[in-house]
Amino acid sequence: MRRTLAVGWFSNEPFQEVCGRCIDRVKEVFFAWPGVLSCRPAPDYTPELRARQVDDLKWARRNGIELDTLFNCNCYGDIAISPELADFVERMLREMDSEGLFPETVTTTSPFIATVLRKRFPQVKIRLSVNQRVHGSVGFEPIMSLFDSFYATRERQRELAWLKGMSEWAHGHGKTIGMQVNSGCLRQCPYQQFHDNLHGHNRRAQSKIGEQFDFSVFICRENYERGNYEDFLRSTWLRPEDLPRYEPFVDVVKLATRRHPFPGKIVDAYATYSYRGNLADLMDARHVFPKSFDNAAFGEEQMLWDAVRECVSANDCTHCGRCTELLKRVFQ
């Protein structure tokens, strides 16, 4: 087994215990430093929580796990190109360094931040965030000098032939490639940019205001409440059992665990390539359905699931009927 898993730091379960169970599989820990906003709501950092994060990250470093810090807001507002933002990024990295936690990698959505890092911290590796949703080499070529690695777009990552080609292209240009395997978002989610922008401004209270207008940023939840459960099958996640088919083509397998209610369940499943239970419970966001997407049932319908998972028309669905048939067999 290779060390490929990138685990998002979490505090609702014992981080060291969870990762320690599969230490030979965890390659990286990704995290937002206290005071840095990212594409998830920031926790309310108390001195105790900050100390816990520092302790967990030091444990990771002692155990040969690399650190990847996040500056991946989708929006930095009026300071998006400014000395203020450049100095802020530098100050945060200096803080990490003072704790012995200078990261090997910085993941960002911002080409400005990437430029600042190239000039001020040339030793750090820079990774393009999965939230940029670049769909192929044409989009990466203009930014080759800024980024050392990137995430494959979720919208195409299930296509093995495409992923293999992107992997060969990346490695041929001295770059590395990763994928995120447990996104619960809709494929081509039309609200993702809007939703991520809210997180970038840490506007968690906005959801309560939206209720006054019968508005929710969770279009996925509304979509499923209307009974469109086939869209869960059309999404971009992979079963833990699927991972051995894809892992040879990527250097990093990102697990969205930072805000998940059961991060240990996710880490255990993808570390062992095995899971018994409701697949929806592994996804972020975690959706509560009226029935279970039984993981064992997918294995019993392997040929049909393979056809759905690798469907090359998934981004322009023709509603051929395969998802409808699979739903009947796995939604129990």
Q: Does residue 35 contact residue 66 with C-beta atoms inside 8 Å?
A: no
Q: How far is it, in rounded angstroms, from Cα 32 to Cα 40?
A: 9
Tell me the pLDDT tens digit for each residue of 224-267. Answer: 989 999 999 999 999 999 999 999 999 999 999 999 999 999 99
d(CA 266, CA 260): 9
What domains sit in the chain, N to C, each tagged with a CATH number?
5-288 (3.20.20.70)
The number of angstroms, rounded, from the C-alpha of 185 to the middle of its chain's C-alpha atoms is 11
pLDDT digit string, tens, across residues 121-146:
999 999 999 888 888 888 889 989 99
pTM of the model: 0.94
Q: Give the pair of three-digit tokens for residue 228.
A: 């469109």
DSSP of 51-112: HHHHHHHHHHHHTT-EEEEEE--S--GGGSSSHHHHHHHHHHHHHHHHTT---SEEEES-HH
Helix, strand, coil % over all residues of the chain, rounded to 5: 45, 15, 40
Per-residue pLDDT of 74-115, as tens digits, reads 888 899 999 999 999 999 999 999 999 999 999 999 999 999
Nearest to 91, CA basis, from 57, 120, 114: 120
Q: How far, in Å, are 156, 171, 277 from residue 152 at the CA level?
A: 8, 13, 27
